[in-house]
Amino acid sequence: MTTAPLDHQTVPTHWTHRHLLDLERLTPTEVRTLLDTATLFKEATGGCRRKLGVLAGKTIVTLFFENSTRTKTSFALAARRLGADVVDFSASSSSLSKGESFIDTAKNLEAMGIDAVVVRHVTPGTPHLLAQHLDVGVINAGDGPHEHPTQGLLDIFTIRERLGDLSGATVGLVGDIAHSRTARSNLWGLMKLGAKVILCGPPTLVSDRWRELGVEVSHDLDAIVPRCDVLNLLRIQFERQNTRPFPSVREYAHLYAMTRDRLKRAKKDLLILAPGPINRGVEVTAEVADCPQSLILGQVANGLAVRMAVLWLTCGPRAGADGPSPGTKVY
Ligand code: ASP
């Protein structure tokens, strides 16, 4: 474990949140604080590889009611690399199956002296509900199609590392906007940092009503590719759809997959992102997923830095207090 200046640092006084529930309600300054803190942790840990002790003595519980490959592991590793203990709650072998309510279960976990809960649930608003009932920090790791704030932050962090200032950058979010929590968190975060956002996909998955938020809506990927500095290629969320929003996956891929041909018509330094899991041949071809402009694995690596920042800001040491003060905002 290394000793770094961060070991003795307290959470900035302007960060007043106990929870991270969404990006929609954060201010641009708060989004920047999260990203700047992630940069600090990435540097202080030699690219998130070395350990720090800034959360020693803290216990983080991961409470996942939906599958996860990257997010759960990334939160667990981030917490351990900051010196915290991590407990994974397994919903299927818990008393929830004996009829205990979700809130009672969470309150029982809280009574054991934990410091934060990282929750993923199929129902939008679940983390917000938990935050109303718990005194410990609640971090949203994905609530149905609503938001996935750490995914949005790590995508934006990855773009910012390459482009610096985001104001004036054009970012295309392509795919299943209707069911994608990643799209929503990206959209809020990017807009707050002054980026131009284009939502692109079939009309059944990208409503024109998004324009009311001040973003551009397009149903023609070929038309937007040459204008974009970044393309974030989102998976079709088949598991959230009751009916097929397009005739066939083949037709979708023909119109909306990022292919080598489309790449030829893009800006030379276009950045390719995808939140993962990627479905090669559907939203992106294998060649593009693995091309030099693809930052897909870099996003995963940056997820650690972002989650370190989120864990530290929500349950790290505060000046003059051992934890968030009662007056802190509850979102
Ligand atoms: N991993 C991201 C999420 O949990 C994106 C996806 O599943 O398509 O939302």
Q: What is the CATH number of domain 149-299?
A: 3.40.50.1370
Query: Distance from CA of residue 23 to its chain's centroid?
Result: 9
Q: Does the structural domain 28-146+303-315 have CATH classification 1.10.260.40?
A: no
Rounded to the nearest angstrom, the gap between the alpha carbon of residue 52 and the centroid of all alpha carbons in its chain is: 23
184 in ligand 1 pocket by Cβ < 6 Å? no
Q: Is any ligand 1 atom within 6 A of the Cβ of residue 148?
A: yes
93 pLDDT higher than 70: no
**Residue 74 beta carbon below 6 angstroms from any ligand 1 atom:** no
Cα–Cα distances in angstroms (integers) from residue 127 to residues 20, 52, 100, 303, in the given order: 9, 28, 18, 20
In this structure, what token pair is assigned to residue 258?
């990022």
Q: Which two tokens stand for residue 222?
A: 């070929």
- Angstrom CA distances, 9 to 4, 52, 317, stand at 9, 12, 8
Name the DSSP class of 168: T
Tell me the average pLDDT across 214-220: 97
CA distance 296 to 282: 16
Atom of ligand 1 nearest to the CA of 181: 9
Q: What is the pLDDT of residue 4?
A: 56
Whether residue 232 contacts residue 199, with contact meaning beta carbons closer than 8 Å, is answered with: no
Q: 181-194 pLDDT, tens per residue?
A: 999 999 999 999 99
Q: Which pLDDT band, with edges at 50, 70 and 90, does 90 fall under? A: confident
Distance CA 98, CA 109 (A): 16
**What spacing in Å lies between the alpha carbon of 214 and ligand 1's midpoint?**
24
pLDDT tops 50 at residue 12: yes
237 Cα nearest atom in ligand 1 = 8
Q: Give the tokens for residue 182.
A: 């990643």
Candidate of 151, 173, 273, 307 to mutate for ligand 1, largest count of ligand atoms within 8 Å of Cβ: 151
Does residue 65 register a pLDDT over 80? yes
Residue spans of the domains in the chain: they are 28-146+303-315, 149-299
Phi, psi torsion values for 198, nearest 5 degrees: -115, 125
Q: CA dihedral in degrees (295, 298, 304, 307; nearest 10)?
A: -20
- Section 47-75 average pLDDT: 95
Strand segments (E) across the chain: 59-64, 85-89, 116-121, 137-143, 170-174, 196-200, 216-218, 230-233, 271-273
- 266, 226 contact by CB (below 8 A): yes
CA 104 to chain centroid, in Å, comes to 27
* pTM of the entire predicted model: 0.94
Provide the pLDDT for residue 5: 60
Cβ of 235 closer than 6 Å to ligand 1, yes or no, is yes
d(CA 114, CA 137) in angstroms, rounded, equals: 9
Q: How far is the C-alpha of 331 from the C-alpha of 316, rounded, in Å?
A: 16
Ligand 1 nearest atom to the CA of residue 180, by list position = 9
Q: How far is CA 33 from CA 28, 36, 47, 157, 238, in A?
A: 9, 5, 19, 11, 35
Minimum CA distance residue for ligand 1 atom 1: 276
User: Cβ distance 213 to 191 under 8 Å?
Assistant: yes
Pocket test for ligand 1, best of 121, 177, 235 (most atoms within 8 A of CB): 235
Query: Does 28-146+303-315 match 149-299 in CATH topology?
Result: yes
